[in-house]
Copies of this chain bind each other. A is one copy, B any other.
């Protein structure tokens, strides 16, 4: 992404130096079940940088904005290229444009965030240079990507309380206990099962199916379905 020689005839005075680079990156979240009494936790995939700057460090998947794609399409394609993932939920998070995010050329990053189901997450093209990590307690990442992840986690916690985010981390049908696990993982605290159930029963867009999850060790829980819009809950500006 080094854009070195930059020859533009017009408006030179407006740019003291080179125009900033424009990149799209994505924070992808998935829920990984916690083993044996442990709480489930949020995980995200990172890619190892194979070039300078920050060669060898892990970073969010991303790349330059391509000319013929919308911002969101660029994010989606880049995700597919690097990780093989195609998240159903993909929304803009924030534009990071500090002066010294990258050591050489200035880079403005428009960051998206995505949710994938646990089932999809295991189908990632993992390799030497692509791996999933637990979202909190990450090692030092390239650029300001630690800050970006922290911000995404903060937004996640906030949206959880009044949003439909949880369902994007789950499959087509799910038990109420699974929804509760998502809440407990994101909010990092226990939630009373009975009260949580009562709330979801009164909630919109949660529909009971006639099926039950079999194969568990105890009473089979009923499966539910989310009937709300699967897209981000804004009047999503397409442009």
A interface vs B, CB < 8 Å? 1-11, 14-20, 22, 63-71, 92, 94-99, 101, 106, 108, 110, 144, 147-148, 150-151, 154-155, 162, 234-235, 237-239
Contacts and interface: CB of A to CB of B under 8 A. Distances in A.
A126 to B, nearest CB: 24
B151 A235 contact: yes
Given A16-B66, A19-B22, A22-B108, A237 B96 contact: yes
27 contacts: A1-B19, A3-B6, A5-B7, A15-B67, A16-B67, A16-B68, A17-B67, A18-B67, A19-B19, A19-B65, A20-B22, A20-B67, A71-B95, A71-B108, A94-B237, A95-B95, A96-B237, A97-B110, A97-B239, A101-B239, A108-B110, A110-B110, A147-B239, A148-B237, A150-B235, A151-B235, A155-B234
Instruction: List the 8 closest pairs (A to B, CB-CB), nearest first.
Output: A98-B239, A71-B97, A5-B7, A16-B67, A95-B95, A95-B110, A17-B67, A151-B237
- Copies of this polypeptide in the complex: 2
A213 to B, nearest CB: 35
A144 B144 CA distance: 31
Contacts of A68: 16, 99
Contacts of A71: 95, 97, 108
B4 A5 contact: no
Nearest to A99: B70
Contact of A8 (B5, B16, B92, B235): B5
A94 B238 CA distance: 11
A72 B162 CA distance: 28
A78 to B, nearest CB: 11
Contacts of A238: 98
A8 B150 CA distance: 33
B97 A65 contact: yes
Contacts of A64: 11, 14-15
A95 B96 contact: no
A7 B8 contact: no
A140 to B, nearest CB: 16
Nearest to A1: B19
